[in-house]
A and B are shown apart, each in its own frame.
Chain A
Amino acid sequence: MNRPSTVPLDMHTFSLVVRDRPGVLVRIALVFSRRGFNIESLAVSPGLIEGFARMTIVSRGAPETVEQINKQIAKLVDVVFVTDHARDVPQPVEAEVALLKVRVSGDADKRSLLARLERHRTRVLDETNGSIVLVADGTSAELDAMLAAVEPHALEELIRTGKIVMDRGASRFAHLLGRHR
């Protein structure tokens, strides 16, 4: 699951552990927006421990500014842990989920779509009046490849969760939450 070479060098993936409090997302977003950085994707969810949340943020920018962004996020009081995975060796494992809605014009069209998706991890969730909803998962690059395969068909809607990543080996932050486990 190493980072594919097609990803631009200035793309950075940050993992965060934060206090699950109102405003924490705004504080983090402001660190990016103040420096003119766009957030490409953001995944937030409750973590293992109540009161704390996990975030994965993908953004792109110049290396000096990214170092400053990492430090300014770390400085936020509600942020327990942050790391930029750009230079991690090996790279962390990653996953992403997508929902897509494809319009099919008949059985032949549908068979053609499903044949194209055979080599990708997809599953049909719903089919209503000629619209098929599929779920797909994989690395972000694998989802890109899946979408390329769907391309000839009438793709109506797409939702991607954004990448989530997890370090290999022992946790780098579990000790920070010792008292709260």
Chain B
Amino acid sequence: MSSRPPTGAERLVRSLSEHGVKHIFGLSGGAAMPIFDALVDSDIKLILTRHEQGATHMADGYARATGQPGVVLVTSGPGATNTVTGLLTALMDSVPMIVLTGQTPTFNLGKDAFQEADVTGITYPVVKHSYLVTNVDDIPRVVREAFYLATSGRPGPVLIDLPKDVTSAPCMAQDPGPPDIPGYEVPGRAARADLERAAELLSKAKRPLLYVGHGAVIAGAGPAVAALSEKMNAPLVNTLLGKGAVDETTARHLGMLGMHGTAYANKAVIGCDLIMAIGARWDDRITGKVSEFCTDAVRIHIDIDPAEFNKTVTSHVQLLGDARLVIEDLLPLVKPNDTAAWMAECNGWRKEFPLNYPTDGTALRAQHVLDRLNAITEGRALMTTDVGQHQMWAAQFLLTRENRMWLSSGGAGTMGFGFPAAIGAQLARPEVEVWAIVGDGGFQMTLCELATAAIHKLPVKVLIINNNYLGMVRQWQELFFDNRLSGVDLEGNPDFVKLAAAYGIKGFAIRKPDEVDEVLRAAHAYNDGPCVVEAVVEKEDNVFPMIPAGAALRDMIIERPKHKLEKPVGST
């Protein structure tokens, strides 16, 4: 090694290593070349993706599976704009991510140079924070701040835009001190008075319900929540992203609430006299019609982000802090109440309105495939999903037992997320069995990453629930638009088994119910790189239960309606 000072790019890569980065997901290009060059001499493994969106979802899956930030490296212009969907996905679901974008040299900024885009400008609404670095000596400080911001408080994506002349220049900066960000506070423990007020209400409640969200997953609050549920003898429900914080197979767990939640979870929401949100944000998929949501119940809200308080649903007590610390502080203050009658009522609903699907006939149903996958993996595999009907069925039938074992795009609802997220998760946790549950629509948005999975021999198992439709939209058109199908027919789908073969990937097909177990077991046992399982399912099946968008929870539909439904109002 020469004694010359490091370049900005070399210093950047060293800073990334110092922050524990082991993998970078990215795609090269002119403005990022100094950084890709610096990676050659580094221990960081570069995962070359086939599209920048795939890189962001891989980094996202990596982060969700571990809690460590995922890192993306792309070039300027279109390379950077292709990360916007991934940034939105990560922001909406509070996922720590660092996106490094190459940029045209500073002397060309604003001159419409080749592959120039105003990347900080384009991404302001989809980042927690961002930097345009114009001084090479700022690089170590910016990297330190970026990691701190991405991972602290409510996590989120941070973008660093790096002009090529800045990454090429010699960097003389000393190691930075601790981050100095006046006004940026990271809540920890909730205020004593708020805790006591909440404990008093929890102790008095006859029909309490714990509503567990992604904040509980991020904070690792699950064991504390389970202990609180046990001490109070209170049922709990989780959101789509809260799956796994508390083992969904345990006795007091009523599964997922909301638009496609279990009937018994939603009946508990309607019937409770107290609901406590634990790192959940009363999203419109949860509340339905807000003006009728839990209006007679005491509402307690635990969140690390004060902007979530009173945003959609007002609460009587607001506990600002880390979900785990808040629950741990509440535990000794709460006195058990007699909730036996309430618990019995909830268990009655569980028996009366179980999740169900027809098992007669020869049609292959997605629910059956997922139900069997749950049994065969014993709920011990890490599951990612895409977005749509398969996602909701997976959420219903795949019971998540451990934290960070269920990865799904909730807030943004990003199709194309599931498969690359599974690649990121598998790289982060090679010892875990990883399945990507995808639909035929979403999978085709990022399937170019089959090459990425194949090259690295990642044993990711892709289960394609193929109904040859954009099924969720078709379901809505059937129910609310007189079955006038528009833009939902995926005629022209490839043969997915042959497609896998073209990448040198093992493919399986399931076409009949009696093939389900055999094929799933074969895929479960297959460990020689990725495999694709195409399940060709009933084309016109619908996800139930369903609360039409904007309707009250009591308007839940449990089975295919006999009469025409009103068009949804109030939400999409």
Contacts and interface: CB of A to CB of B under 8 A. Distances in A.
A19 B130 CA distance: 13
Interface in A58-98: 64, 67-68, 71-72, 74-75, 77-81
A71 B307 contact: yes
B311 A80 contact: no
B39 interface: no
B494 interface: no
A71 B320 CA distance: 13
Interface in A7-42: 17, 19, 22-23, 26-27, 30, 34
Nearest to B307: A71
Interface of A: 17, 19, 22-23, 26-27, 30, 34, 64, 67-68, 71-72, 74-75, 77-81, 176-177, 179-180
Contacts of A19: 182
Interface residues of B, number: 20
B66 interface: no
Contact of A77 (B120, B181, B309): B181
Contact of A75 (B180, B181, B307): B307
Contacts, number: 43
B130 to A, nearest CB: 8
B571 interface: no
A79 B307 CA distance: 14
Interface in B467-508: none
A117 B181 CA distance: 48
22 contacts: A17-B183, A23-B124, A23-B132, A26-B121, A27-B124, A30-B124, A30-B125, A34-B125, A67-B310, A68-B307, A71-B307, A72-B307, A74-B307, A75-B305, A75-B307, A77-B128, A77-B181, A77-B184, A176-B182, A176-B183, A179-B180, A180-B182
B132 A22 contact: yes
Interface in B45-103: none
A34 B120 CA distance: 17
B125 A71 contact: no
Contacts of A30: 124-125
Given A68-B307, A81-B183, 17 more contacts: A22-B132, A23-B120, A23-B124, A23-B132, A26-B124, A27-B124, A30-B124, A34-B125, A67-B310, A77-B149, A77-B181, A80-B182, A176-B183, A177-B182, A179-B180, A179-B182, A180-B182
Nearest to A22: B132
A79 B183 contact: yes
A181 B129 CA distance: 25
B568 interface: no
Contacts of A17: 183
B176 interface: no
Interface in B123-167: 124-125, 128-130, 132, 149
Interface of B: 120-121, 124-125, 128-130, 132, 149, 180-184, 305-307, 309-311
A19 to B, nearest CB: 8
Contact of B129 (A68, A77, A179): A77
A64 B121 CA distance: 28
A121 B556 CA distance: 66
A180 B182 CA distance: 9
Contacts of A72: 307
A99 B555 CA distance: 60
* Shortest beta-carbon contacts, A-B, top 8: A80-B183, A71-B307, A77-B129, A80-B182, A176-B182, A75-B307, A176-B183, A72-B307
B156 to A, nearest CB: 10
A72 B132 CA distance: 22
B36 to A, nearest CB: 26
A77 B148 CA distance: 12
Contacts of A81: 183
A71 B180 contact: no
Contacts of B129: 77-78
A162 to B, nearest CB: 23
Contacts of A22: 132
A86 to B, nearest CB: 16
A75 B181 CA distance: 12
